[in-house]
Amino acid sequence: MGTVRVTQDVEVTRLDSMEASVITTQTLPVGERVLLEIPDERSAISKARLFRTVKTRFVFKDGRLRREVQLAIIGHTGIPEARAATEPFRVSTSPMIAAISRRVPVRLVEVSTSGCLCDSPTPLEEGSVGFVEVRTPGQQRTEAVRILRTQRAGGTSWPYRMAFEFLTLAPLSPESLRGVAAVIATGVPSVQRT
């Protein structure tokens, strides 16, 4: 078991202390929790709030078909808030670029030195780049990945099967998911500790 963390750029078209609307090229399933990170013009620090996707519809923007997603801010209970947040975002009616981070649970089916096959309750767009994170007793293993293929596989809890390619951003390490796959494949640690 693990999670895949992906981040995508969005255009925020409306934002207040309770809800937001964003334009995106990728699917955001209704009911999913997402983290919306808004850059602060006054400092290098961005503000982030947890939202739940409420509604999605197709819109024609800049000569292309896009998705407009309505988001409702979530309180500490996980339920959309009925009152204003204690530290609200600035109210905005002019478009701005922000980032949405998603964490999608996955079940590892197969792992090799070049990638892995996972089942998921929700699909991720092919070509997206992110990180797969797997917890093992006493350790957390993280690997940068690109989603090569997403297909409907059936099943009720894990209906989507995705193929991930490992991105080699750093040398092979015994603490990485690639490193574990290399040890399993060869039986010999590929990186010796000194």
Residue-wise pLDDT for 123-145, tens only, equals: 899 999 999 999 878 888 889 99
Q: What does pLDDT average to over the chain?
A: 83
Pairing state between β 64-73 and 46-61? antiparallel
Burial of 61 (0-12, 13-18, 19+ CB in 10 A): middle
**Does pLDDT of 87 surpass 50?**
no
At 122 the three-state DSSP class reads coil
Task: Return the pLDDT at 5.
Answer: 95
Class of domain 104-186: mainly beta
Angstrom distance (rounded) from CA 134 to CA 170 = 18
Task: Return the pLDDT at 129.
Answer: 94
Predicted structure pTM score: 0.76
Q: What is the pLDDT of residues 136-169, one digit of tens each?
A: 788 888 899 999 999 998 778 899 999 999 998 7
Task: Return the pLDDT at 135.
Answer: 84
The 8 Å CB, 24+ separation contacts for 13-18 are 13/68, 13/95, 14/92, 14/93, 15/89, 15/90, 15/91, 15/92, 16/88, 16/89, 16/91, 16/92, 17/73, 17/84, 17/85, 17/88, 17/89, 17/91, 18/72, 18/73, 18/81, 18/84, 18/85
Task: Return the pLDDT at 94.
Answer: 65
Could you state, in order of their start, the residue ranges of all structural domains in the chain? 7-102, 104-186
pLDDT band at 90 (very low <50, low <70, confident <90, very high): low
**Does pLDDT of 97 surpass 80?**
yes
**Does pLDDT of 100 surpass 50?**
yes
Higher confidence at residue 137 or residue 77? 137
Domain 7-102 in CATH 1.10.760: no
Tell me which residue of 94, 93, 110, 127 sits closest to 25, measured CA to CA. Answer: 127
Higher confidence at residue 188 or residue 93? 188
Burial of 178 (0-12, 13-18, 19+ CB in 10 A): buried
Task: Return the pLDDT at 45.
Answer: 66
Same fold: 7-102 with 104-186: no
**In this structure, which amino acid lies at residue 194?**
T
